[in-house]
Amino acid sequence: MERLASFSSDPFDKPPCRGCSSYLTEPYVKCAECGPPPFLLCLQCFTRGFEYKKHQSDHTYEIMTSDFPVLDPNWTAQEEMALLEAVMDCGFGNWQDVANQMCTKSKEECEKHYMKHFINNPLFASTLLNLKQAEEAQHNETAIPFHPADDPPRPTFDSLLSRDMAGYMPARADFVEEFDNYAEWDLRDIDFVEDDSDILHALKIAVVDIYHSRLKERQRRKKIIRDHGLINLRKFQILERRYPKELQELHEAMRRFARILGPLEHDKFIESHALEFELRREIRRLQEYRAAGITNFCSARTYEHLKRTREEERLKRTMLSEVLQYIQDSSACQQWLSRQADIDSGLSPTVPVPSSSGRRSAPPLNLTGLPGTEKLNEKEKELCQMVRLVPGAYLEYKAALVNECNKQGGLRLAQARALIKIDVNKTRKIYDFLIREGYITKA
């Protein structure tokens, strides 16, 4: 025979007796040879020698009871479980309610036993310490660790530090302006009174549930910001710039998935792609060496030096072809020489004045396949080709000028130039065209 803990203090949680189908009460008998499922009998059926299918009355058995001490000789296992359930139901510290629920122990006995064996017990204390250390170790693996501080920074409103932290207040763990900042306004006029109808009461409960869901979304966003270190956006952007341009674009595109991966997994994902990028670039360089017949790194250094020299020669030839374009115009040639002298001396080059002679005009813009071309008439297409303006931009400028003309009752050229910030000559041609076609009128 062996005494074991029961299923629960509630008899309805136990399986019924296999003999009489009544609910089992302790003590009861469990067959040690039958099962699973366990073959359980009440004491009355066991004493009658009940047999069923493979179960025989001479099988070995176990007596199931929780009437034995575990931590204290005066407390049975069933009372220990009842105490833990009562503390869970009534809350820690409400010892009078705990004693009322148990019915077998007083308030002082419950408090003394719980504090001695479940709070100050060295065995449980060491277990809780191990759990705390494991939690701290897991916390230290996050991408942006946070450490408690006695006096967190309190930046003044609208200061440089406050703007860098997006209005975050570390002492309160809140932002000056929260996500969904006016969510509480929906609750300001709600008041639960006794004479509310069932429908009105249900509507008020639904509004409160909606408010709770909005608060959960606010907390979720704040957790993402804290976990990923996004409070100081400037520092986050500086960290992004350490990657090559291609990886910066990937980082920007994959940022929306950071909320799913978590901070550590997201950083591993980006770093793995950075490593892949470096490996691919190194493989391309080695393939270039192999195609050129290079078999050692000494030859590779010579190849790189010659490659840079060829690139410099190509740039010089490009500069020479630029000189030849201006050679027929003495004033343009003089401007080019002065610009090159400024560049050689480290000064900012002067902007050359376009010459009336010797300069080739740019060819008309090809509108084939450009978005918005189908919205233009033939005259507008001709204008975009000559001005070299894409149809989408022209339609935006046209809409802005027409709207402003309708508001003011007319439009001047100076106002048009203030509205669209492009080359003044292009603005003049667009303005004259719209006046000529009757889209706008002069002020």
Whether residue 290 contacts residue 274, with contact meaning beta carbons closer than 8 Å, is answered with no
Cα 128 from Cα 44, distance rounded (Å): 45
Domain boundary residue, one of 35, 50, 65: 65
> Which segments of 40-180 are extended strands (E)?
40-41, 61-64, 168-169, 174-175
Three-class DSSP category at 281: helix
**How many distinct structural domains can be found in the chain?**
6
Three-class DSSP category at 197: coil
Cα 431 from Cα 440, distance rounded (Å): 8
Domain boundary residue, one of 189, 216, 235: 235
In a domain, 148, yes or no: no
Whether residue 360 contacts residue 340, with contact meaning beta carbons closer than 8 Å, is answered with no
Q: Per residue of the chain (443 residues), what is the pLDDT tens digit?
A: 344 444 444 544 567 888 888 878 778 888 888 877 888 888 888 888 888 888 888 888 887 877 778 778 888 888 888 888 888 888 888 889 888 888 888 888 888 888 888 877 766 655 555 555 666 665 544 444 444 444 556 667 667 766 666 677 776 677 777 888 888 888 878 888 888 888 988 888 898 889 888 888 888 888 877 777 777 666 667 777 777 777 777 777 777 777 777 778 888 888 888 888 889 988 998 998 888 888 888 888 888 888 888 888 887 777 666 666 555 555 666 666 676 666 665 555 554 444 444 455 667 777 777 788 888 888 888 888 888 888 888 888 888 888 888 888 888 888 888 888 788 888 888 888 888 888 888 87
Q: Give the domain CATH number at 429.
A: 1.10.10.10
In a domain, 147, yes or no: no
Q: Are residues 80 and 106 in the same domain?
A: yes
In a domain, 149, yes or no: no
pLDDT given for residue 370 in this prediction: 79
Q: What values do phi and psi take at 259, rounded to 5?
A: -65, -20
In a domain, 364, yes or no: no
In a domain, 372, yes or no: no
Preceding amide of 37 cis, omega within 30? yes
Position 223, amino acid: K
Q: What values do phi and psi take at 87, rounded to 5?
A: -65, -40
Q: Are residues 276 and 329 in the same domain?
A: no
Q: Give the domain CATH number at 89.
A: 1.10.10
User: Is residue 76 classed exposed, middle or buried when 0-12, 13-18 and 19+ CB atoms within 10 A define those classes?
Assistant: middle
Q: Are residues 208 and 258 in the same domain?
A: no
Preceding amide of 27 cis, omega within 30? yes
pLDDT given for residue 3 in this prediction: 43
Cα 59 from Cα 53, distance rounded (Å): 13
User: Is residue 80 classed exposed, middle or buried when 0-12, 13-18 and 19+ CB atoms within 10 A define those classes?
Assistant: buried
Residues 6+ apart with CB under 8 A from 319: 340
Return the biggest CA–CA distance within the chain: 127
Rg (CA), the chain: 42
pLDDT given for residue 1 in this prediction: 37
Q: Provide the domain limits for residue 260.
A: 243-291
Cα 162 from Cα 158, distance rounded (Å): 6
In a domain, 1, yes or no: no
User: Is residue 405 classed exposed, middle or buried when 0-12, 13-18 and 19+ CB atoms within 10 A define those classes?
Assistant: buried
Q: Are residues 226 and 170 in the same domain?
A: yes
Cα 81 from Cα 74, distance rounded (Å): 14
Three-class DSSP category at 16: strand
Length of the chain equals: 443
Domain boundary residue, one of 27, 45, 65: 65
Q: Are residues 76 and 61 in the same domain?
A: no
Whether residue 434 contacts residue 404, with contact meaning beta carbons closer than 8 Å, is answered with no
CA dihedral in degrees (8, 11, 14, 17; nearest 10)?
150
Q: Are residues 177 and 219 in the same domain?
A: yes
pLDDT given for residue 143 in this prediction: 43
The pTM of the full predicted model, rounded to 2 decimals, is 0.32
Q: Are residues 307 and 322 in the same domain?
A: yes
Sign of CA dihedral 87, 91, 96, 102: negative
In a domain, 177, yes or no: yes
Q: Are residues 201 and 229 in the same domain?
A: yes
Q: What values do phi and psi take at 126, rounded to 5?
A: -65, -35
In a domain, 265, yes or no: yes
Q: Identify any residues that bridge with 30 across adjacent strands, giving them in sequence order.
A: 40, 62
Cα 12 from Cα 23, distance rounded (Å): 7
Q: Are residues 425 and 402 in the same domain?
A: yes
